[in-house]
């Protein structure tokens, strides 16, 4: 049987995904249906060279997870306003906005570092099949927003306003889900 003759084989489609950013305790998170695109996690493995006589031997080094990019459509509705929600996440991260010229601006104390990691909640990228069932789920550990750009406006365009996010995280793991909706046990 060749590749195209196997009826049980279904390739993953780029447009079948859900990005879940539930937000922390005082935010409502970003609405899943407003996400336009998101990059999947990726990593780089460094290398170390060991020289012995006239030979080089290579060994794997540290794994570094790369930041991911997401694009979200902004809305006017105050219950789904992506810009407003991202600014709430920044505040929940511990950042203090200036209210008067004398106000200290910034991150304040080092004790707020934990809040940065809790502001987004558990970030997940889910791949779904043709029937809408989740078949793969990436879980980003300790994700936080590294960069936010709130789009642009122009009299020359009818495009939707988009918010671009760069999210940094410590590491990620993947859950591949069987046809019965369960994650298989580790072997």
Q: Residue holding tokens 């994650």? A: 183
Please write the tens of the pLDDT for every residue from 20-67.
999 877 678 888 888 999 999 999 999 999 999 999 999 999 999 999
**What pLDDT, on a 0 to 100 scale, did the predictor assign at position 7?**
77
pLDDT classification of 102: cutoffs 50, 70, 90: low
Three-state secondary-structure class, residue 141: strand
pLDDT given for residue 92 in this prediction = 83
Q: Please tell me what DSSP assigns to residue 100.
A: S
Which CATH number does the domain 11-40+67-176 belong to among 1.10.10, 1.10.730, 2.30.110, 2.60.40? 2.30.110
User: Which pLDDT score is estimated for 23?
Assistant: 85
pLDDT of residue 136: 93
Q: Tell me what the mean pLDDT of segment 139-164 comes to.
A: 93
Confidence (pLDDT) at 139: 95
Tokens at 5, concatenated: 């003759």
- For residue 114, give the 3-state DSSP assignment: helix
Question: Considering the entire predicted model, what is its pTM?
Answer: 0.80
The pLDDT value given to residue 179: 63
Q: pLDDT over 70 for what percent of the chain?
A: 82
Task: Give the whole-angstrom CA distance, residue 159 versus residue 153.
Answer: 9
Helix (H, G, I), strand (E, B) or coil at 73: strand
pLDDT, tens only, 108-131: 554 555 666 678 889 999 999 888
Task: Lay out the sheet containing 162-168: strands in order across.
Answer: 35-38, 68-73, 162-168, 144-149
Distance CA 122, CA 69 (A): 16
């Amino acid at each position: 049987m060749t590749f195209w003759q196997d009826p049980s084989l279904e390739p993953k489609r780029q447009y079948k995904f859900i990005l879940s950013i539930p937000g922390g305790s005082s935010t409502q998170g970003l609405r899943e249906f407003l996400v336009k695109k998101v990059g999947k996690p990726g990593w780089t493995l460094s290398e170390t060279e060991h020289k012995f006589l006239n030979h080089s031997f290579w060994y794997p080094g540290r794994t570094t997870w790369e930041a991911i990019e997401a694009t979200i459509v902004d809305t006017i509705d105050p219950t789904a306003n992506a810009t407003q929600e991202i600014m709430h996440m920044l505040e929940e991260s511990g950042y203090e906005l200036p209210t008067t010229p004398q106000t200290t601006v910034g991150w304040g104390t080092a004790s707020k570092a934990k809040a940065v990691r809790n502001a987004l909640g558990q970030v997940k990228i889910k791949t779904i099949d043709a029937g809408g069932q989740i078949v793969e789920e990436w879980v980003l550990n300790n994700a936080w927003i590294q960069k936010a750009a709130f789009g642009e406006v122009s009299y020359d365009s009818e495009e939707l306003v988009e918010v671009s996010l760069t999210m940094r995280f410590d590491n990620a793991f993947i859950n591949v889900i069987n046809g019965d909706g369960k994650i298989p046990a580790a072997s």
